[in-house]
Amino acid sequence: MIKAIIFDWNRTLWDKENGALFAETKDILEHYKQKTRLALASNLEGGNREEKLDLISKHNLSHYFDLAEFQEEKKDQIFEKIIQHWGLKPEEVAIVDDKAKKIVSFGRRTGATTIWLKKGKYADELPDADPDHVIYSLAELKRIV
């Protein structure tokens, strides 16, 4: 049973190219906030942590997340930190990201559920192995978790 969802920020919840939230972001977060723990896990990608946290606060998203980790380190390390902080087993966690290569290897190694949001810049970047689920919009997440 999935007890927590870790979301990527850029191009998953936030439309980086257009500087706006994706239309379904708040609806998805609202849907899951009462059911499960939520976290953000993202590489800094040239920005700084405070800028991203300010952006999340500006869009009234902070209250949805139990944790927000923006680091320079590899995504696997961020996922592990969050899972350990919660005291969960990886198989109790789902990870949603627009970059399948970032999540599939972690999921295969640990047992976490991997959900590839296949749209935008990385939609054609195929992973080495298949993710557990492929969705084309965040709204589709409701049929999985």
Rounded Cα distance between 3 and 124, Å, is: 30
d(CA 143, CA 145): 6
Domain boundaries, the chain: 4-143
Q: Smallest Cα–Cα separation from 41: which of 83, 92, 87?
A: 83
Query: Quick one: pLDDT at residue 42?
Result: 87
Q: What topology is assigned to 4-143 in CATH?
A: Rossmann fold (3.40.50)
Q: What length does the chain have? A: 145
In which residue ranges of the chain is pLDDT below 50? none
Q: What pLDDT score was predicted for residue 47?
A: 65
Residue 19's closest CA among 72, 79, 59? 59
Q: How far is CA 83 from the centre of its chain?
A: 13
Whether the CA torsion 76, 78, 65, 59 is positive or negative: it is negative
Instruction: Supply the pLDDT for residue 31.
Output: 96
Q: What is the model's pTM? A: 0.94
